[in-house]
């Protein structure tokens, strides 16, 4: 019995240090692989960032340009109402807004949902402003009269329909980049 106890003690003297070394090696190898994985993930994110960040920034720039182009004062200067009836000019303005928006529709992929919603609301506000102003005009009015009334409405409300969206998008650009 004493001999078997000595055998067990000798066996434990060999096994316990071996188990401790094995556990330590397992722990070190695991930590090494975790660290290696994190480094590779960081490198992948950095490479991804080098590609995606310029594309996202370009998307925000294009959306700011969209908002600037559909701002009533800029839109009315760019798309002249001279030589058009109010009805024709109304259709031209709405078509211009629709074309600008459709041209930049894909930019929403690179923006937050909140920023894109602000852009959509701004477009809707501009369209509503144009529609409401057009409906208030007398029959047979000229395009220049529609342009004049739209500008007067913007000046009287002292708020541009795209102003909030522009501020939001610029603020988001500042926080993101």
Non-local CB neighbours of 9 within 8 Å, separated by 6+ positions: none
Instruction: Give pLDDT tens digits for 139-166.
Output: 989 999 999 999 999 999 888 999 999 9
- Residue 167, pLDDT > 90, answer yes
Residue 162 phi, psi dihedral angles, 5° rounding:
-100, -5
Q: What is the pLDDT of residue 2?
A: 82
Band (169; pLDDT cuts 50, 70, 90): very high
CA 34 vs. chain centroid, Å, equals: 33
Distance CA 134, CA 121 (A): 20
Q: What is the pLDDT of residue 4?
A: 84
Non-local CB neighbours of 93 within 8 Å, separated by 6+ positions: 75, 76, 79, 130
Q: What is the pLDDT of residue 31?
A: 96
Instruction: Give pLDDT tens digits for 74-101.
Output: 999 999 888 899 999 999 999 999 999 9
What are 106's two structure tokens? 């894909």
β-partners of residue 142 are 85
Q: What is the pLDDT of residue 159?
A: 81
Q: What average pLDDT is seen over the chain?
A: 92
Distance CA 151, CA 129 (A): 10
**What is the share, in percent, of the chain residues with pLDDT greater than 70?**
99
- Residue 118, pLDDT > 90, answer yes
Instruction: Give pLDDT tens digits for 20-59.
Output: 999 999 999 999 999 999 999 999 888 877 888 889 999 9
Distance CA 47, CA 154 (A): 46
Is residue 106 within 8 A of residue 55, CB to CB? The reply is: no
Question: What is the DSSP secondary-structure string of 4-71?
Answer: HHHHHHHHHHHHHHHHHHHHHHHHHHHHHHHHHHHHHHHHHHHHHHHHHHHHHHHHHHHHHHHHHHHS
Which residue carries 């969206």 as its tokens? 165
Q: What is the pLDDT of residue 3?
A: 83
Q: Please provide the size of the chain in residues.
A: 177
């Amino acid at each position: 019995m004493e001999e078997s106890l000595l055998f067990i003690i000798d066996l434990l003297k060999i096994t316990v240090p071996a188990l401790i070394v094995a556990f330590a090696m397992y722990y070190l190898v695991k930590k090494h692989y975790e660290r290696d994985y994190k480094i590779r993930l960081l490198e992948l994110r950095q490479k991804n960032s080098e590609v995606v960040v310029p594309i996202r920034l370009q998307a925000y720039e294009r959306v700011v340009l969209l908002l600037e182009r559909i701002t009533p004062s800029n839109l009315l200067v760019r798309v002249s109402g001279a030589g058009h009836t109010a009805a024709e000019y109304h259709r031209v303005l709405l078509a211009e807004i629709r074309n600008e928006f459709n041209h930049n529709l894909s930019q929403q992929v690179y923006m937050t949902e909140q920023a894109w919603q602000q852009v959509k609301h701004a477009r809707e506000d501009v369209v509503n402003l144009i529609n409401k102003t057009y409906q208030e005009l007398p029959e047979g009015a000229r395009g220049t009269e529609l342009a004049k009334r739209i500008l007067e409405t913007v000046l009287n409300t002292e708020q541009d329909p795209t102003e909030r969206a522009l501020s939001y998008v610029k603020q988001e650009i500042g926080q993101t980049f």
